[in-house]
Amino acid sequence: MEKIKGILKRENAFREMTPADAAACEAYAKDYLGYLGIAKTERRAYDEAIRRIEALGFKELSTMDALKPGDKVYRGYHGKTLMAAVIGQKPVAEGIHVIGGHTDAPRIDIKPIPVCEKGGLAYFDTHYYGGIKKFQWVTHPLALYGVVVKPDGTKVEIAVGDKPEDPVFQITDVLPHFGAEQAGKKLNEAFDPEDMDILVGSLPVAKEEDDEDVKEKVKLNILRILEATYGITEEDLVSAELELVPAGMPRELGFDRSMIAGYGHDDRVCAYAGLRALMDLPAVPNRTGMVLLCDKEEIGSVGATGMDSTFFENSVAELIVRQDPTAGDIVVRRALEASRMLSADVCAASDPHFPSADSPNNMAKLNAGGCMIKYTGARGKGGASDARAEFIADLRRIFTAANVTWQAGELGRCEKGGGGTIALYMARYGMDVIDFGVPLLNMHAPWETATKFDCYMTYRAYKAFLED
């Protein structure tokens, strides 16, 4: 009997790689480790992306009056959300190919008036950002990153906790010996976010630096240190964006070093893959290729730097007007409708220890390649962006031709799983869009886990898509 055709496999495909591919995969993973260690906040991801693309000759769009095929440009919003593009042979007005990922990640933010003293210890008051399991973040060493901006416009950068000589910060927890009351609570009720302050000091201010008007001497000591180190006051912290993230550099995981554990894979692993795919495009692609590295996805893509803003359409309009100064609004709308996008975000990988979370037969597996998620949403696909079959069929053509290992699935067990990313905000322009990204273990934990193979195959998929 002839073998039956078209049986879909979702299995470990690592051994199917050619030696050249395996070497490229390893080099890709090493470079990604370097990127992930630097890009610990959305601002740092933005700066690092610009540093990398400027080295390749990308120019700020506002400095270009006209665009021709092969031009490489970028445009940003507020130092957080970035669009980079390589202009294709076909006019932008005929549609572009977009890879859209996000660079914000769940974390612990600092409140506007953070410094406080309790029981003779100094703390920063915090407000968490994004969907976290709070118990995972206590006792973990944390690094502090961000900016403090003064009324005269001076920007003070803070980055402390990741250099070996740096101090770190910590949210403390009760010891197990005294923890019976806590242990009896439900997991999602055991930690009150108002008690998740970070410990920043334990010493009173030196006698010669004392101020009799301030009763809280340990808090005063921290304010003195902030003034001496950064030249900032308590009031300056009101105009600050400070984020606590897990301290430490991403690491290879496992005796076989096949995986990467690190903070912020969601979604820097796809953002990086998109950026690399764009950077590795041929000098003049057929269509204009674009990567979007956006902010605020973890809290609903809100605000000026989230994808529920006009950033994307304005950026497309800015490209079009540089190719045809007479083009009107309708040209932009047609270009958006004719565009296609991979919503580049991570998905949940099947974890053998939590099979009850899996969508039977439809769960991404590690080392089976990047995963295509046709629809997101929850329950009866509520809130979904559901990609059409015709688009998926064309992606199959593209990935097969480029010898990309990919898989398909959905985001967890029906009525247990669900979620969503930026796809729905792009789909409203009428463009084809589908989620495609790297499967993760422990998504949204301080350290998340991906395999090198899946990272590399996702990059290969994005590149094939941009080159089509």
- Residues near Mn ion, by CB under 5 A: 266-267, 345
- Which residue's CB comes closest to Mn ion? 267
Select 266 or 454, whichever has its Cβ closest to Mn ion. Answer: 266
The type of residue at 299 is I
Least distance between Mn ion and beta carbon 465 (Å): 19
Q: Distance between CA atoms of 103 and 242, rounded to whole angstroms?
A: 16
Nearest residue to 294 via CA among 98, 46, 50: 46
Least distance between Mn ion and beta carbon 104 (Å): 9
- Which 3 state secondary structure label does DSSP give 92? helix
Least distance between Mn ion and beta carbon 298 (Å): 5
Torsion of CA 35, 40, 46, 51, to 10 degrees: -40
Select 91 or 377, whichever has its Cβ closest to Mn ion. Answer: 377
**Alpha carbons within 13 A on the beta-carbon side of 7:** 5
Select 44 or 296, whichever has its Cβ closest to Mn ion. Answer: 296
Residue with tokens 């953070």: 114
Q: Distance between CA atoms of 285 and 162, rounded to whole angstroms?
A: 39
Least distance between Mn ion and beta carbon 102 (Å): 6
Least distance between Mn ion and beta carbon 91 (Å): 32
Least distance between Mn ion and beta carbon 198 (Å): 22
Select 331 or 455, whichever has its Cβ closest to Mn ion. Answer: 455
Q: Distance between CA atoms of 85 and 65, rounded to whole angstroms?
A: 15
Helix axes 452-467, 389-401, angle to 10 degrees: 110
| Length of the chain as a residue count | 468
Q: Distance between CA atoms of 185 and 90, rounded to whole angstroms?
A: 60
Select 48 or 267, whichever has its Cβ closest to Mn ion. Answer: 267
Least distance between Mn ion and beta carbon 297 (Å): 6
127 φ, ψ to 5°? -140, 115
Q: What is the DSSP string of 313-372?
A: HHHHHHHHHHH-TT--HHHHHHHHHT-EEEE---EEBP-TT-GGGS-TT--B-TTS-EEE
Select 76 or 264, whichever has its Cβ closest to Mn ion. Answer: 264
Residue with tokens 């990935």: 399
Least distance between Mn ion and beta carbon 133 (Å): 13
Select 92 or 269, whichever has its Cβ closest to Mn ion. Answer: 269
Select 318 or 345, whichever has its Cβ closest to Mn ion. Answer: 345
